[in-house]
A and B are shown apart, each in its own frame.
Chain A
Amino acid sequence: NAGVTQTPKFQVLKTGQSMTLQCAQDMNHEYMSWYRQDPGMGLRLIHYSVGAGITDQGEVPNGYNVSRSTTEDFPLRLLSAAPSQTSVYFCASRDRGGTEAFFGQGTRLTVV
């Protein structure tokens, strides 16, 4: 039981490049979310999903796309990377009913 797995752990992109951050969970959780963490600002919600085929925007969705074709996977796509997207990205999953969230180890992204 691996929990929530994020890849890659580190990534450097050039401005304008695109990439996909991967997130997979093996707990059969319905709810999955992407957050970004910047110094002094805590975690801000980018996108979330309440089940396969259903996604919605969070607090800071601009510049990011998501899809949820399976229960297990919730990839985050950066369409055209900008320096403002330099951050640490966390994926989380949780079961229904307001239970605890399980987090991946994070992806540290630098856009130059």
Chain B
Amino acid sequence: SQQGEEDPQALSIQEGENATMNCSYKTSINNLQWYRQNSGRGLVHLILIRSNEREKHSGRLRVTLDTSKKSSSLLITASRAADTASYFCATDKLTDSWGKLQFGAGTQVVVTP
């Protein structure tokens, strides 16, 4: 079973709008990461937030983490057509080795000009 579940499964917005997607997970974690995948390509790391952090920013990205609710959100501000991609959350479970990064099913984001 997957550790992370993203919501929504798909998101369609216009350029300039903000995109928000959520991730819920099941067990205690060391950290949570977000990745982007362009069509037909490998995953690219976006941002990592550790279990003792509540919010993190990187450029137009803002990530929050609520360990009490076992959830995280990724906000992309002022979206661009180039942000069209699938976005995945991934977790390092507290009891697992660093080799077992576990992914959710992803949110497919389409940004139209």
Query: Which A residues form the contact surface with B (CB < 8 A)?
Result: 4, 30-33, 35, 40-45, 48-50, 56, 58-59, 90, 92, 94, 96-106
**Contact, CB under 8 Å: A97 / B98:** yes
Q: How far is the CB of A33 from chain B (nearest CB, A)?
A: 6
Known: A98-B31, A105-B42. A40 touches B105 (CB 8 A): yes
Interface size, chain B (Cβ < 8 Å): 29
User: In chain B between 90 and 113, which residues have their CB closer than 8 angstroms to a CB of chain A?
Assistant: 90, 92, 97-106
Q: Determine the distance from Cα of A41 to Cα of B90 in the docked complex, in whole angstroms.
A: 13
B residues at A contact (CB < 8 Å): 1-2, 4, 9, 30-31, 33, 35, 40-45, 48, 50, 88, 90, 92, 97-106
Which listed residue (B9, B50, B98) contacts A94, Cβ 8 A?
Answer: B98
For the complex of A and B, list the 9 residue pairs with the smallest distance between their C-beta atoms, beginning with the closest. A48-B99, A103-B42, A100-B45, A42-B105, A43-B103, A31-B99, A103-B43, A42-B103, A105-B42
